[in-house]
Amino acid sequence: MDLLIERQNGWAQLTLNRPAQKNALNTALLGAVAAALSEMAADPAIRAVMVTGAGGHFAAGADIGEIEHKTAAEGSIDPRKTHWAAIRAFPKPLIAAVEGFALGGGFELALMADLMVLGPTARLGLPETNLGLIPGAGGGQRLMALAGRARAMRMVLMGEVIDARTAHDWGIASYLITDEAPAACPQFAAQIAAQISERAPLALMAAKAAVLAGEARSLALAEERQAFERLLDSADKSIGIAAFRARTKAEFTGK
């Protein structure tokens, strides 16, 4: 199964399970995450959810094959938009345990978490401009809110990938785990989820809703998504993806 679900006492763990693809978030996997969170939102026995990735990586972006031939018209009715909306709407505390790559859509998923725990191997980035695109699920906006305009521009415009220490120092993550044992990061995140599940659930949901409402007023999420959809029709998108597949340098034309 592409998504593993483990229910614990008061909380649940979701594990992205496409290790051969470094847990790339294809539409099916993203939909499974959204469905699981929607189910757990309605379950009073679940008070928090932790999401992590199998095989030493969180999620190395979206599935390039799904984007390669997608048009702007298709992007406007893409089911991924509904899946992302369901994840954003999850009302309970969401914790992301990030090891290895969290790139593109994978980083956007981690940025939707309320608490991000980074292991020492974590590498985070929004490299969509390398493909002639931009983040499509609000990642640029959330990154700016956490790290500031200068650092967000650096990562988005340059496609820069940063390490765990830098991400923590920039205020992107809540916790940095320096223990290099393979299970240290998810184990710590599991402890956080267990502790949160013992706290007052109504207060936690109210606190999350209030913080996110304030954040939403300053984020141009709709504008970022619309720009992403327009770029799906560009020649530069085709050039960027072809270069990525060929492992060559893209020669963009601005068309």
Q: Which among 39, 68, 128, 229 is annotated as catalytic?
A: 128
Task: Give the integer Cα–Cα distance in Å for 125 and 27.
Answer: 20
215 given a catalytic annotation: no
User: Contact, 37 vs 49, CB < 8 A?
Assistant: yes
Residue 115 tokens, joined: 């608490």
Q: Which among 6, 99, 108, 223 is annotated as catalytic?
A: 108
User: Contact, 99 vs 185, CB < 8 A?
Assistant: yes
Residue 161: Cβ-neighbour burial (10 angstroms; 0-12, 13-18, 19+):
middle
Task: Give the integer Cα–Cα distance in Å for 172 and 41.
Answer: 25
Residues present in the chain in total: 255
108 given a catalytic annotation: yes
Query: Which residues carry out catalysis?
Result: 108, 128
